[in-house]
Amino acid sequence: MALWAFAALALPVIAHMAYRQVTNRYLFPSLRFIKPARIPRTGRKTPTDWLLLLARIMLFSVLACLFADPYWKEPSPPDATKVGRETIIALDLSPSMSGWAGLSEAKKRIDGLLEKLEGQIGYVGFGAGVLAEVAPTEEVGLVRSAIENATTGYGSGNPQTGIDRAAKLFSTGADERHLVIFSDFQRSDWQATYRRLDEEGITVDLRPVGHSRKVGGKREGNLSLAEAKAAPAGPGKVRAWAVVRNSSNEPVETTISIEAGGEIREEKAITVPANGATQAQFILPEGDFASAILKLMDEDELTVDNVRHLWLKAPPPRRFGFWSSTNETEETIEEREFLKVAIESAGDNGWNRWLPVQENADGLRIGDLTSELDLLIVTGIGSWFADEKLGETMKAYLKGGGFVIVTPSEPFAASVSTLRNSDLLDLGFVRVVGGAGATREPFRISALEPGSHLAKTFSGKAARDLYLTGIYRYGLVRPAEAEGVSTPLQSTEGNPFVVQRISPEGGKLTFFPYRLNVRWTDLPMRNSFLPLLMELVRGSKGVIDRSWPRLESGETLVDGEETFRAEKPGTFRFLDRFVEVALAPSESIAEVIEPAETRESLGAGSILDKVKTSGKDLDKEESKSLWLWFAIAAVILFIIENLWSRPRRTTVLEKETVNA
């Protein structure tokens, strides 16, 4: 298409034909003695300045060729890259291949295939990634040895890595490229795999294994321990419970056991419904055992998902502490003691505990940002906060994802000024609204915004208690519009009852414009106080599972500069954490993908003729671009044209007296 630029050759020709030469003017005193002459007719116009026209035509020709991106083909040395036929065997080594005799069946079929294959043979074993590989070679023994030693891994299967690696192992000079895939084609692993191998000149042969008990789109005969957890079961006891799932179309009876201290402590017979699940629970003495193993005693088609490891130790509690003035008032002491008891009781019946650790709060107060603290409560903020220069420390704590509750002091204006001057919360102060206690008409909380976390927490009868809360007096503030600032709680008149600021890092500052004691409000005396407090502080994160970290095989856990990689199921100690590692639930799924669907996503079958032809041509010829040479020629011609067509100096007429 770029060669259409040759049409521009007409431009210099037209320009040269249209050019008219201008005659120089000469001064002459009189036309009296000049005889008139007839102007001769001109014939057909011809271009002027033939050499300059030729240079311009050559310049436009070179530019047209330059746009076409010319290249020179040189034949490669004969048989330099020709390697004939190459076959690569790709073997799935994901955990699901250990079930339904998939791996053993694949090894037997590959052993028979190696006796028939011709040409060079390679191998790729893949699971969560590429586990082993052998480049195409004529030494079949290397491939046979690698396949005999192949074992399944624990990480969730990722066939895409194996397909991509196998495609890169083929030599560019191979006349035929053939990929043979042995896998159980589990749907959870293969449904997102895609690569058009036919467009790369690779034929694909799919060999499903482990489908002896395939019924429809899934395989029968597997039970799995889908979940396992530990929680307190009363004084001195720990409850370990598990969920057993059945993927078969028939109910299954089995036995589940719990092992602790190297011995089986208890066994239970359970019946798992068809395509359903059931639970089993065990009670053990607390403190006697650090970990336990839950196990299905009866063999099934996939045994790797019949075991779960779990810790029987309580997770670390959430820590909280207080900042207040050294000269505490009676209101501050009352508020602090009430909040301490309330937050301590915020835990549930599990291992979700709150623990007051004033030492950590004091360490944070003197600038030790390494002090572990989940919640900081500043009671009666005022000028003392600014005098101790605590603003920067609190901002650093919030930037690290900390949570802070702040209540005002007397005078109220000093609290607002301290927050504003410390750049913690920009508030405009109007006045303190009070007198409700004397008139017996307290200020009420307005209806919560529908769909918010607070509205979900106080849905139903709990909302009635919240809306009957009485606020006797409060500071009327006007928060400035800023990113992350909101008023989740307001009065019926629309005045803020709670102001929050959420930092981009996740830290949250919650400011109550009234003291949390009975002199300012009756909220602490109501059942709605504790859920309101924890919902405002933690938000939707308040229901986070506080148990020890649980990882799937192949995942990582990072703590500072240290990294823990979960390689196989079990219980492990990482720094100050107790980590549980379990098999990925996706590996227990019995559904398999249909061959037609996999063929379509991989381009399996015969490759296109044009791909074969182009592949052979590229193998036998080497292309060298001539773009640079044409660019140099264009620059040279452009310089010549500019020098040639530069304006020439004309004769300057001098004014002289001409006599007749």
- The CATH number assigned to the domain holding 456 equals 3.40.50.880
Query: 542-579 in b/e burial notation, b at 16+ Cβ within 10 A?
Result: eeeebbbbbbbbbeebeeeeeebebeebbbbebeeebb
End-to-end C-alpha distance for the chain, whole angstroms: 68
Provide the number of structural domains found in the chain: 4
Residue 602 lies in a domain: yes
- One domain for residues 255 and 274: yes
The verdict on residue 552 lying in a domain is no
Position 436 scores a pLDDT of 57
Show which of 482, 511, 543 is a domain's final residue.
Answer: 543
Q: What is the dihedral of CA 181, 185, 189, 195, to 10 degrees?
A: 50
* 365 & 257 share domain: no
Inside any domain, residue 276 = yes
Where residue 248 sits, what CATH number does that domain have? 2.60.40.150
Nearest CA to 158 among 189, 184, 185, 181? 189
| Residue 523 near residue 491, CB atoms below 8 Å | no
pLDDT exceeds cutoff 90 at 6: no
pLDDT-derived band at 39 (thresholds 50, 70, 90) equals low
Whole-number Cα distances in Å, 34 to 29, 30, 660: 11, 8, 13
Residues 487 and 537 placed together within one structural domain of the fold: yes
Ramachandran quadrant class, 476 (left: phi over 0; alpha: psi -120 to 50; beta: rest): beta
Same structural domain, 457 and 538: yes
Q: 279 — phi, psi (to 5°)?
A: -110, 155
- Give the Cα separation of 17 and 50 in Å (integer): 11
Tell whether 261 and 353 lie within a shared domain.
no
197 and 326, same domain (yes or no) = no
Q: Hey, CA dihedral for 239, 244, 250, 252, is it positive or negative?
A: negative
CB 295 within 8 A of CB 259: yes
Q: What is the mean pLDDT of residues 286-309?
A: 92
> End of a domain among 543, 571, 602?
543
Pick from 549, 603, 629, 617: nearest CA to 167: 603
Element (H, E) at 109: helix 102-114
- The amino acid present at 307, given as its one-letter code, is V
Is 17 in a helix, a strand, or coil? helix
Instruction: Determine, yes or no, domain membership for 565.
Output: no
Which whole number is the average pLDDT over 65-91?
A: 74
In a domain, 551, yes or no: no
Model confidence band, residue 617 (pLDDT cutoffs 50, 70, 90): very low
Q: pLDDT digits over 376-406, tens only?
A: 999 999 999 999 999 999 999 999 889 999 9
Judge whether 97 and 134 are in contact, CB under 8 Å. no
Contact partners, residue 494, CB within 8 Å, separation at least 6 = 446
User: How far is residue 617's CA from residue 133's CA, in Å, rounded to a whole number?
Assistant: 29
Domain that holds residue 635: 2-36+43-70+628-644
Let me know: does 258 contact 292? Beta carbons within 8 Å.
Answer: yes
Residues 420 and 288 in one domain: no
Q: Please give the average per-residue pLDDT across 560-573, as a whole number.
A: 90
The vertex-446 CA angle with 440 and 449, nearest 5°, equals 165
Same domain, 204 and 238: no
Structure confidence at residue 108 as a pLDDT band (50, 70, 90): very high
Tokens 């650093």, located at residue: 396
* Co-location of 372 and 326 in the same domain: yes
Whether residue 506 sits in one domain with residue 433? yes
Q: Phi/psi zone of residue 277: left (φ > 0), alpha (ψ -120 to 50 degrees), beta?
A: beta
User: Range with the lowest mean pLDDT among 45-59, 358-372, 486-500, 637-651?
Assistant: 637-651
pLDDT band at 615 (very low <50, low <70, confident <90, very high): very low
CA–CA gap between residue 511 and residue 498 (Å, rounded): 6
Q: What are phi and psi of 250, to 5 degrees?
A: -125, 145
CA-based angle 202:208:211, to the nearest 5? 170
Alpha-carbon distance 406 to 391, whole Å? 13
Whether 209 and 228 map to the same domain: the answer is: no
> Are 169 and 284 within one domain?
no
- Tell me the pTM: 0.61
165: CATH: 3.40.50.410
Instruction: Give the angle subtended at the CA of 331 by the CAs of 325 and 337, to the nearest 5°.
Output: 85
